[in-house]
Amino acid sequence: MASPSRAPPKPNPTSSNNATIALPKPTDHWSFASLLADILRLPPETIAMCFIYINRFTKYTRTATDAPKLDPHLNKPPQSQTLTLAALSLATKTTESPRRLRALLLPAHRLLHAHTRAYVPLTLNSQTYAGLRRTVVAAELLLLRVLRFDAHIPLPLDFLPRYLDRTVGEAGTADVDFDEWGRGEREEVGVCGFMETGVGRACRGVGVEACKDYRFANLFDARTVAAAVVWVVLRGRGLELGEGRAWVEEVAGGKVDGGDFEEAVGLLEGLRISTM
């Protein structure tokens, strides 16, 4: 009697060859931070703060005579990975979106190493994990010292709702104020929050991208960047606005310098970030 034919083995979804086909691979520390933030379901404020921390530390290393290494065992590209992990870990705390360090390190290790043939998943009881954890904790403390323990930095995103309300919100009719509706009433007819509208999401996206830029993170205050973001997004969506300095005076309530605003707009337009 012939032996029954055996079905071909199913591919193992956890093997490195199969599992990494669809796994995105970061190309720099910005994409590394962004992808980690998405994996951990972090809000835009957290990744924006992470970008600012990275740029603030970069400024420190450019001006300090003897800037300490975040990881004495590593040189430059891995150094930026250590900085990214420390910055993102700190940002989860200062933006009230705390994540355990293990939740950060396990996917980070996979993103960085899963595409190699000899990849071995990181485990919590391994010496590798213990060493990585010590390194990131020490780097986070060093980052705090560079920030002079003042890690609650104003973000451009903090001012976007106010500036949008003073621009797009002004077009609303006086007899309909969605902000005064109760939550149940809004949900019943599908009224979303201002920052969840198309223009709100666009401004938030551009605001986060602006925080990647060294100049916006170090040379401009958050109000100026936020005003520039709203201006560039509205113009990019085909809307006409008044004269720049008069517009920002009205929208920002006189708290943004006209010259700084114009310079920020020029820089932001040069980045060519999508405004849709």
Q: How far apart are CA 219 and CA 225, in angstroms?
A: 10
What range does the domain containing 56 cover? 16-146
Identify whether residues 191 and 240 lie together within a single domain.
yes
**Domain final position from 146, 180, 211:** 146
**Domain final position from 146, 178, 193:** 146
Residue 33 lies in a domain: yes
Identify whether residues 139 and 223 lie together within a single domain.
no
Identify whether residues 130 and 45 lie together within a single domain.
yes
Identify whether residues 162 and 263 lie together within a single domain.
yes
Q: What is the dihedral of CA 29, 30, 33, 39, to 10 degrees?
A: -120
Please compute, for residue 25, the number of CA atoms within 13 A of its CA located in the half-sphere on the CB side: 10
pLDDT at residue 78 in the model: 46
- Tell me the pTM: 0.86
Identify whether residues 108 and 185 lie together within a single domain.
no
Residue 6 lies in a domain: no
Residue 75 lies in a domain: yes
Angle between helices 76-94 and 29-39 (to 10 degrees): 40
Radius of gyration of the chain (CA): 23
Identify whether residues 26 and 139 lie together within a single domain.
yes
Identify whether residues 160 and 235 lie together within a single domain.
yes
DSSP 183-242: HHHHHHHTPPPGGGSHHHHHHHHHHHHHTTSHHHHHTS-HHHHHHHHHHHHHHHTT----
* Count of structural domains within the chain: 2
Do 20 and 121 touch, CB atoms closer than 8 A? no
pLDDT tens, per residue, the chain with 276 residues:
444 555 554 444 444 455 577 888 899 999 999 999 999 999 999 999 999 999 999 999 888 777 666 655 444 444 589 999 999 999 999 999 999 999 999 999 999 888 887 888 899 999 999 999 999 999 999 999 999 999 999 999 999 999 999 999 877 666 677 777 777 887 777 878 788 899 999 999 999 999 999 999 999 999 999 999 999 999 999 999 999 999 999 999 999 999 999 999 999 999 999 887
Do 87 and 53 touch, CB atoms closer than 8 A? yes
Identify whether residues 22 and 66 lie together within a single domain.
yes
pLDDT at residue 170 in the model: 75
Residue 28 lies in a domain: yes
Identify whether residues 224 and 243 lie together within a single domain.
yes
Please compute, for residue 185, the number of CA atoms within 13 A of its CA located in the half-sphere on the CB side: 6
**Domain final position from 120, 146, 172:** 146
Instruction: Take residue 61 and report the two structure tokens written for it.
Output: 């290393």
By CB neighbour count within 10 A (0-12 exposed, 13-18 middle, 19+ buried), where does 94 fall?
middle
